[in-house]
Amino acid sequence: MHPALILSAAAAFALAASPAPSLAQPAAHTVALREVRLTLPAEAVIEATKQATVATQVSGRIVAVKVEAGDRVKPGQLLMSVDAREATENVAAARAQLVQAEANYRRTRNLFKQKFVSEAALDAAEAALKSARAQAGAAGAGASHAAVTAPIAGIVALRHAELGDLATPGKPLVTVFDPQGLRALASIPQFKLKEAQRAKSARVEFPETGRWLDGARIEILPTIDAQSHTATARVYLPAGTEGIVPGMAARVHFVVGQAKKLTVPPQAILRRGEISAVYVLKDGKASLRPQLRQVRLGEAVAGGELEVLSGLAAGETVSLEPVKTGIEMKQAR
């Protein structure tokens, strides 16, 4: 046999006989029964306890915009200015009518004292004076509302109008909310209401970010919607909560009891369609080559971990980096 072929065969045999490369140890978690809170979940939306949408009482073009969405404002701070020339003209006309009505009333009163006019004429003059005063007061109030100011301290949530838009009485211009007072508004089915009423505490989950917050207070309204047959629950968030704004989707978990459950962190789960699996690294005391094992999961428990219904046992260790573990196994093969 050619020496080169002998060398190649020897090298191949040595490679086949060599042990498989060891895998880097990933971050791991030992599965165990733990005391978890039993919860009643309900979909919710975040709202501000103190929110105001401001408008103007005069018609005119918006000539100045002083704030943007996200800006912090103080009470009385100027938000927008509306061209009040029309309102000013209305004030001047109303004041002129008031002056005329006052003069007419004085003249009619003097004539009544001299018995040249009837009491009905005097009453008519007095009624015209009161009407003129009311119109002048309304016109003056409208002119003062040409400056749109913040009614509360807070953050600008939304600006409903832009520079040059036409502002009309009652049309929303700016919405301001107080970030110190936020709550989750949840709908509870009627048949679950008694269970929710027994809850002494609640946690608010933000599924998109994985964030959890402890509710400061629970308030369940005493009425049920006739259309949806649901009751409304308010779960107040702690004061000073950052990164939460009105309109965000949330899920409220009303704590209704405690039980021991087998749980696993969500980062240990490898999902392929409807199938969930984990890489098992250790079976009790014995270390294993990573084994992909299908598991059946329940709902998330308070704290963010997932309940394991089947596929794992207490004491087994799973990889917290299943994607990385799978890639290393392929490379090793």
Integer Cα distance of 189 and 84 in angstroms: 51
Residue 59 lies in a domain: yes
Q: Where are the alpha helices (DSSP H) in the chain?
A: 3-17, 85-113, 119-144, 193-197, 322-332
**What are residue 53's DSSP bridge partners?**
175
Residue 165 and residue 152 in one domain = yes
Residue type, 169: P
CATH number at residue 158: 2.40.50.100
* Whether residue 323 is found in the same domain as residue 210: no
**Domains in the chain: how many in total?**
4
185 and 44 within one domain: yes
Q: What are phi and psi of 234, to 5 degrees?
A: -115, 125
Measured CA to CA, the distance from residue 109 to residue 175 in angstroms comes to 51
For residue 4, being part of any structural domain is answered with: no
Q: Is the pLDDT reported for residue 194 higher than 70? A: yes
Sign of CA dihedral 58, 59, 64, 66: positive
pLDDT above 90 covers a percentage of the chain that reads: 30
**Domain closes at, from 203, 231, 257:** 257
* Single-letter residue type at 237: L
Identify the pLDDT of residue 90. 62
Closest to 151 in 3D by CA, of 169, 174, 167 = 174
Reading the block at residue 204, the tokens are 């608010």
Instruction: Please compute the mean of the pLDDT values over residues 203-219 and round it to a whole number.
Output: 89
Cα separation, 83 vs 65, in Å, equals 12
The CATH number for 190's domain is 2.40.30.170
Helix, strand or coil, per DSSP, at residue 94:
helix
3-state secondary structure of 261: strand
In this prediction, residue 260 carries a pLDDT of 87
pLDDT score, position 142: 52
Domain extent for 225: 40-49+180-257
Q: Please provide residue 325's backbone torsions phi and psi, each rounded to the nearest 5 degrees.
A: -60, -45
User: What pLDDT, in 10s, does the model give residues 119-141?
Assistant: 888 888 888 888 878 877 665 55
- For 63, the token pair is 């000539």
Boundary of a domain, candidates 100, 119, 144: 144
> Which string of DSSP letters, residue by residue, matches 295-329?
EEEEEEPTTS-EEEEES--TT-EEES-HHHHHHHH
3-state secondary structure at position 2? coil
Cα separations (Å) of 156 from 31, 248, 313? 46, 16, 51
Residues 189 and 248 in one domain: yes
Whether 12 shows a pLDDT value over 50: the answer reads: no
**pLDDT tens digits for range 235-277:** 999 987 888 889 999 999 998 888 888 888 888 898 888 889 9
- pLDDT, tens digit (0-9, with 9 covering 90-100), for 152-188: 999 999 999 999 888 888 899 999 999 888 999 999 9
pLDDT at 212 over 60: yes
**Would you state the structure tokens that stand for residue 206, as one six-digit string?**
């933000």
Residues 189 and 236 in one domain: yes
- Establish if 204 belongs to a structural domain: yes
pLDDT digits (tens, 9 = 90+) for 30-76: 888 888 888 889 999 999 999 999 988 777 888 899 999 889 999 99
Assess whether 215 and 278 both reside in one domain.
Answer: no
Which residue among 235, 257, 279 closes a domain?
A: 257
Average the pLDDT over 299-307 and give the result.
75
Query: What is the SS3 string spanning 190-201?
Result: HHHHHHHHCCCE
Answer whether residue 167 is part of any domain: yes
Is 17 inside a domain boundary? no
Q: What is the CATH number of the domain that holds 303?
A: 2.40.420.20
Give a yes or no: residue 9 inside a domain.
no
Do 252 and 290 lie in a common domain? no
pLDDT, position 140: 57
Residues 231 and 188 in one domain: yes
Mean pLDDT, residues 224-229 taken together? 92
Distances (CA, A) of 12 to 15, 18, 253, 272, 333: 5, 10, 60, 37, 16
For the chain, the average pLDDT equals: 82
**pLDDT over threshold 70, residue 215:** yes
Q: What one-letter code names the amino acid at 68?
A: E
Considering the domain boundaries, does residue 137 fall inside one? yes
What confidence score (pLDDT) does residue 24 get?
Answer: 60
User: What does pTM read for this prediction?
Assistant: 0.57
Please answer whether residues 278 and 319 qualify as being in contact, where contact means their C-beta atoms are separated by less than 8 angstroms: yes
